[in-house]
Structure 1
């Protein structure tokens, strides 16, 4: 494991030069690159608190004296530099609320590398983000005001949706292609809540009491209103896409990815197949199976559900044609395993190369980046391919 990594001056300059073409978000929607790729960096469970004053969990004793939240920041900077993603997705427990006397500052510091990069970034909340002085609603509202974020509080004219931070993003085809004005990749973000029947974790003044509540009542779940919104949104996007003559020839809707924090119970199914990665702890799912997996599978466009929450699970596995993927723990103030490197998941979406230029999405692939001495990339995996759709 390598901790204490930070960017030197030369690396910082190179990062700025690499990212400069990204431009200003207001003038550039999400779009595939000219080389027909779109890359997403998933950051799961940073558990950020108070910077250099925050200690690390589950590292070797020799590393403890110089390990802090700054190692999480350095890992994020390092990964952005190496991967140069088109979108950064933070999948919850971005801060560890109980250790954050100033949650707005902790949120700003946690997302600082993404903000500085000028790369678009999006956020969903976990079960720990609202355990400080900000309510769950306030956390999402504040996050949505930060620079370069595409995060949304909730869709407009959709007051019926439960939770905070349910929204979708559309990714346009390559510039100059027949699909440049169509969303060829759709991204759904869902709030999986915190604890069952818990109005707000701030009502529980200590981590111990919150843990007792979790043991008794379990984790929360994605509600019917959220699933209804997702299905309606998916239906609309598929209809818009299939109205295009080029898309109609394929008879296959634009693929989609879904992100949330707490995994549904199906992540623990005995029927999972093609598992790539490891499971080193149980699935800490919700206390109720709300039918989310059935909704996602029924939508037909969602090809992968990507979550966080269980830090030492990092596998992707298939269930009835839907890929279920963990990100693996990213942050150093979060539990892990000493010697088992913190990690990030990278998703690369590729367009189909046709005689007339770039077409629709051809494949969705993934791998992981480890924060070790060699910054190792592992577990290359095909999640979906148009040829087998």
Structure 2
């Protein structure tokens, strides 16, 4: 696959480094409620000669009718069998008839050898559609690397960016693995464009999403995490090469979520390094896989690093998921809610007890006599008079603003545990270097007992205790949420 690095850099200089949405007469904007809705369709695998086309059309139209998205994004493997041109025009007709603007990133099957069309020639076909709003993008690896800005509900500020990136198909050298990857010139383009949007936003990162077809190798990291929900019924068919795309997303700090297809029996979503990694729901009746055909819906919120997402099929809605909390409808429906305590705290603060000695577990401090006790404003170990071999016990009441599922975390060196109403929510115990552990608990609105135990052994000491929920962006628990019953 040829790279166009020199031409790419010249185009950066010539055209102000921006390759973004420019379709005439269509300008995407957050609505008056500050929301923007996207429907992701993936792996349609359209075969213009198949009788299953009617079923695929029915699925897509049912989703569009129920959700009425502002934009539909097709994440690859759209037309998998000849006749290619007629297939793409048939898919485009679905969105023309529903008057739905749509974009696409290509998959590995869209331009396989013998199909007669290159990736850029496919874009020549779909650009004929009046509701297609993407573009080929600058000449670089792949075709269809472009960004679509979403404008604020008022004014002309760019309030969000939707990156479309070609994850390509197969490497020229099959010894490098079965699937290709996102290449360095594409990553450079994304980083430069991200920085450009940031500089035009008073040096504040613009909340963004990224769409491509083949999952990143980091999708393996979210399997089994507490913040991961959905179906995983097959392996993750990522490239063998780690391109560094995910590292750039982490460094740029603007992309909240990555949405891919490719693996038809996966539709799960989880969080890795504060970035949601999600599969869409397979949409095409001719694609392999057992999942009910449908779409992933994403709702972005203006000026917030926050989105909600769920699966929509003709039968209904599945798997609500709230970013950045990682809380889902699965949690809300399956967890038992702890009732609030009948207490009336009189002041803000955290009671603490302080110990010294070597502890293997934070549970070992319970039977010890404290050397000191008192009141602090929060969970902090800054007052410890020694650097090693000490422990703290903290107790307070946390004021929960509304009924819901809450995610707590401790990030500690060494061990820590967090209890709510006597129930272990976070178990980060033992002697270890800095490590974060999360846990979820369902709470009624009101006051709940919160206890944190901490131990420090040799070298390094740190403790941070945080919270998030559907409506609380992740942060250390603020002083204003912590209360004591008395001055003692």
* TM-score of the superposed pair, with normalisation by structure 2: 0.60
**Partner residue of 1:193?**
168
Cα distance in 2, alignment partners of residues 263 and 146 from structure 1 = 28
- Cα pair 1:363 1:386 within 8 Å, conserved: no
Q: CA deviation at 1:228?
A: 0.3
Q: In the alignment, which of 84, 89, 96 is matched to residue 103 of structure 1?
A: 84
- Name the CA shift for 1:113/1:225 in 2 (closer, same or farther; >3 Å): same
Give the C-alpha shift of residue 115 in structure 1. 2.1
Counterpart check, 1:35 vs 2:33: yes
Instruction: List aligned pairs for 1:1-389, cutoff 5 A.
Output: 26-50=24-48, 53-54=49-50, 68-96=52-80, 99-100=81-82, 102-131=83-112, 132-155=115-138, 159=139, 161-174=140-153, 177=154, 180-197=155-172, 217-242=177-202, 252-269=204-221, 272-337=225-290, 340-351=291-302, 360-361=303-304, 363-371=306-314, 375-384=315-324, 387-388=473-474
Larger radius of gyration: 2
CA distance in 1, matches of 2:143, 2:202: 30
Whose helix proportion is higher, 1 or 2? 1
Residue 386 of structure 1 deviates from its aligned partner by: 8.1
Cα distance in 1, alignment partners of residues 119 and 24 from structure 2: 27
Residues 91-116 of structure 1: per-residue CA shift (max 9 Å, x gap): 000111xx31x211100112221122
Kept after mapping to 2: 8 A contact 1:91/1:126? yes
**Cα pair distance change 1:255/1:386, threshold 3 Å:** farther
- Supply the distance in 1 between the matched residues of 2:128 and 2:26 (Cα, whole angstroms): 18
Which ranges in structure 1 are unaligned for 5 or more consecutive residues? 1-24, 56-67, 199-212, 244-251, 352-359
Aligned length: 304
Note the C-alpha offset of 1:142.
2.0
Conservation of the 8 A alpha-carbon contact between 2:257 and 2:277: yes
Contact 1:39 1:348 in 2 (8 A): yes
> Larger % of strand: which?
2
Secondary structure at the aligned position of 2:473 is classed as helix
SS at match of 1:78: helix
Once residues 176 and 216 of structure 2 are traced to their aligned partners in structure 1, the CA distance between those partners, rounded to angstroms, is 18
Cα distance, 1:216 vs structure 2: 8.1
Aligned equivalents of 2:254 and 2:305: distance in 1? 14
Distance 2:248 2:306 in 1: 23
Does the aligned pair in 1 maintain the 2:44–2:286 contact within 8 Å? yes
Supply the distance in 2 between the matched residues of 1:37 and 1:141 (Cα, whole angstroms): 32
How many angstroms does 1:362 deviate by?
A: 6.0
Q: Flag the 1:273–1:289 CA change in 2: closer, same or farther, 3 A.
A: farther
- Matched-pair contact (CA < 8 Å) for 2:222–2:272: no
In structure 2, stretches of 5+ residues that fail to align are 1-22, 325-470, 476-488
Aligned partners of 2:297, 2:208: CA distance in 1, in Å? 16
Superposed CA deviations along residues 217-266 of structure 1, whole A, max 9, x for unmatched, are 310000000000000000000111126xxxxxxxx522100000000111
**Distance in 2 (alpha carbons) for counterparts of 1:54 and 1:146:** 22
Measured in 1, the distance between the counterparts of 2:232 and 2:164 equals 24
Q: Which has the higher contact order (CA 8 A, sep 6+)?
A: 1
